[in-house]
Amino acid sequence: MNTTFKLSLAGIIALALSACGGQQEAAKPAAASGTGSAPASATPAVEKTEIRFGTTPGDFSDQIKDSIQAILEKKGYKVTVQEFSDYVTPNKALAEDAIDVNVFQHKPYLDNFKAEHKLDLVEVYQVPTAPLGLYSGKLTSLDQVKDGSTVAVPNDPSNFARALVMMDSLKWIKLKDGVNPLTASKADIAENLKNIKLVEIEAPNLPRSRQDVDFAVVNGNFAISSGMKLTEALFQEPSFAYVNWGAVRTADKDSKWVKDVADAYNSDEFKTYAKTRFAGYKFPATWGESAVEGAKAEASAVAVSSASAASAAQ
């Protein structure tokens, strides 16, 4: 989650946030959906003339305000945007019908969150997402890595795991077979092939750490906020599992308004805007970089692996 990822799964801490406002709808649902207390089929899809987005400040909000809003307004919708400062409230607000769609999370996080909180939500389209990247420090290219190189990495468990998976992809370390990529830790390193020295730092401070280490693994959102360019990354995580999604209540997923929102995010107009404004981002799989079903399958496999590991630990 951006920005990036903007992203962690189990280790995210909720911040207090006030409730978001209401909207005028063409009709009201007979009962609130998304609570998990009734099957989705019990509440018919509601068509809307106003679409309330919930998102986090920064690129996801900008994407709506700069492009998506105008595309939807051309189709006759009124669009409002509610910004949240945490990764918990947007899903609860969506389930409680305080917003209609949220944009801030990757599928593994959504899958785990809705299972834990018994929410009836579903992902419907991917959005451009700032990926985790490996950036230069004292060394300026991947082939300069040497025995004992220092690498600054995020110290929170979720992003630390992603950094390890990235270095495994680079063959700087080797993780144990069958390791859960969402919870990989130092104990899961089978071989430190380059004798890498990991320097664990709070994620917001990683950009400043580059002058003191050979390389730094930096979250996309913190790279951008510090003035770094994503296109300067020496390596980006290859997985599509962490590309973020727009989510809705399951009862609404077949609504015309949901289709119009998804079409807006996959329109040529938005693609042109995004590829210019968000160079270096990881774009939706449907845009031709990969098969979207493959991306969803990969993300689901990661979530299943996480759930299995959690069950085994109990």
* Res. 206 pLDDT band, cuts 50 70 90: very high
Same structural domain, 228 and 150: yes
Rounded-to-integer distance, Cα 125 and Cα 102, Å: 11
134 token code pair: 């490996």
Same domain membership, residue 191 and residue 54: no
- Whether 57 is covered by a domain: the verdict is yes
Considering the domain architecture, whether residues 254 and 109 belong to the same structural domain is answered as yes
- Are residues 264 and 210 part of one domain? no
The model's confidence at residue 45, banded by pLDDT at 50, 70 and 90, is low
Instruction: Find out whether 189 and 103 touch, Cβ atoms under 8 Å.
Output: no
- Cβ(78)–Cβ(49) under 8 Å? yes
Q: What are the tens digits of pLDDT across the range 214-242?
A: 999 998 888 988 899 999 999 998 877 78
- Is the pLDDT confidence value at 269 over 50? yes
With cut-offs at 50, 70 and 90, classify the pLDDT of residue 5.
very low
Any domain includes 188: yes
Residue 123: its H or E element: strand 121-126
Same domain, 179 and 248: no
Tens-place pLDDT, residues 72-92: 999 999 999 999 988 899 999
Q: What is the CATH number of the domain that holds 149?
A: 3.40.190.10
Is residue 103 one of the residues assigned to a domain?
A: yes
139 burial class (0-12, 13-18, 19+ CB within 10 angstroms)? middle
253 and 123: one domain?
yes
Indicate if 192 and 229 belong to the same structural domain: yes
Q: Are residues 138 and 208 in the same domain?
A: yes
State the Cα–Cα distance between residues 134 and 217, nearest whole angstrom: 4
Residue 96 burial (C-beta neighbours within 10 Å; 0-12, 13-18, 19+): middle
Asked if 137 and 225 sit in the same domain, the reply is yes
pLDDT tens sequence across 92-140: 999 999 999 999 988 888 988 999 999 999 999 999 999 999 999 999 9
Beta bridge partners of 2: 4
Give the per-residue pLDDT at 263. 98
Structural domain contains residue 22? no
Which domain, by its residues, includes 172? 133-236
Residues 117 and 212 in one domain: no
* Per-residue pLDDT tens over the stretch 273-311: 999 999 889 999 889 854 344 444 444 444 444 444 444
Q: Report the share of the chain in percent with pLDDT over 90.
A: 62
**pTM, rounded to two decimals:** 0.67
In a domain, 311, yes or no: no
What span, in angstroms and rounded, lies between the C-alpha atoms of 232 and 130? 13
Is 71 inside a domain boundary?
A: yes
Residue 152 lies in a domain: yes
Same domain, 118 and 147: no
**Domains in the chain, number:** 2
Distance CA 173, CA 40 (A): 45
